[in-house]
Amino acid sequence: MKALARWLMLVLGALLALQLFFVGRIALMAWVNPESTSFERSEAWRLLNTKGSVPWRQQWVDYGDISDALKRAVIASEDDSFVNHSGVEWDAIEAAWKKNAKAEALALKRPGKKPPKIVGGSTITQQLAKNLLLSGERTLLRKGQEFVLTEALEILLTKRRILELYLNHVEWGEGIFGAEAAARHYFGKSSAGLGAYEAARLAVMLPRPKYFEKLPNSSYVAGRAMTIVGRMQNAELP
């Protein structure tokens, strides 16, 4: 029993140390711009192993140098309650789980069809927590850690800083990270110069950036972008 208790204490101590490490890194991000995220490093390693090189486009830009149109488009598309929630939208997560369960049940009745697309209910803060510090695996343990880090981000950083970090590190295509790189790659201009429709087209890409990178002018992207443009005026900025 003593050995078991000692082992449990070691595990709990390691978990506590990990949480303190994460909290320390997040607190530092209030002043220091992170050079890379966990997801970016994993993508760089994947590209190096599959292509033998790392084609990479990324450039940090301050919050004030990013078009308000892009901020509004991303909020309207990804998290329209961003400025008001405390990090997690439980109703959205529950709705996503129900939708995924229904899609999986339907897929079981239709063998041979493509697997169902997994729908997420993550807020911008949750997405940032995952990309900054966690792996991309889908496990309950990883999801639980995401919730803890989301709360830490909301407590230690302002909404403005969270959105700034998100827009500078979110993926917009293979090896394309951040608003500045995306604006220059797709529209040949800086992120400060993006108009409403251009911003909306970028926002459409966020759930599946590598997929939409190959179909930037698809009818879906165009139609969805117009919907986002119509919602942007109601998107509240931090």
Helices (H), the chain: 2-28, 38-51, 68-78, 90-109, 124-133, 140-156, 159-169, 179-187, 196-205, 209-213, 219-232
For residues 208 and 17, the model is more confident at 208
The pair phi, psi for residue 181, each rounded to 5°, is -65, -40
Contact call for residues 192 and 66 (beta carbons, < 8 A): yes
* CATH number for 175: 1.10.3810.10
Selection from 128, 134, 130, 122 nearest residue 162 by Cα: 128
- Asked, for residue 178, whether it belongs to a domain, the answer is yes
- Asked, for residue 84, whether it belongs to a domain, the answer is yes
The pair phi, psi for residue 233, each rounded to 5°, is -65, -20
- Asked, for residue 71, whether it belongs to a domain, the answer is yes
Give tens-digit pLDDT for 92-113.
Answer: 555 555 554 454 555 456 665 5
Give tens-digit pLDDT for 187-229.
Answer: 999 999 999 999 999 999 999 999 999 988 899 999 999 999 9
- Asked, for residue 112, whether it belongs to a domain, the answer is no
Binned at pLDDT 50, 70 and 90, residue 119 comes out as very low
Number of domains forming the structure of the chain: 1
pLDDT for residue 150? 93
Terminal Cα-to-Cα distance of the chain (whole angstroms): 53
Query: Exposed e or buried b for every residue in 199-219, given b needs 16+ CB within 10 A?
Result: bbbbbbbbeebeebbeeeeee
- Asked, for residue 22, whether it belongs to a domain, the answer is no
Give the residue-averaged pLDDT of 64-79: 97
Contacts of 143 (CB under 8 A, 6+ apart): none
For residues 109 and 48, the model is more confident at 48
Domain containing 166 equals: 35-88+123-232
**Measuring CA to CA, how many Å separate 124 from each of 17, 96, 129, 209?**
26, 15, 9, 15
- Asked, for residue 148, whether it belongs to a domain, the answer is yes
Give tens-digit pLDDT for 120-134.
Answer: 568 999 999 999 987
- Asked, for residue 118, whether it belongs to a domain, the answer is no
In whole angstroms, give the CA distance from residue 224 to residue 228: 6
- The reported pTM is 0.85
pLDDT for residue 195? 96
Selection from 52, 61, 16, 99 nearest residue 177 by Cα: 61
Binned at pLDDT 50, 70 and 90, residue 4 comes out as confident
- Asked, for residue 142, whether it belongs to a domain, the answer is yes
- What is the DSSP annotation of 67-99? -HHHHHHHHHHH-TTTTTSSS--HHHHHHHHHH
Give the residue-averaged pLDDT of 17-26: 81
pLDDT for residue 118? 45
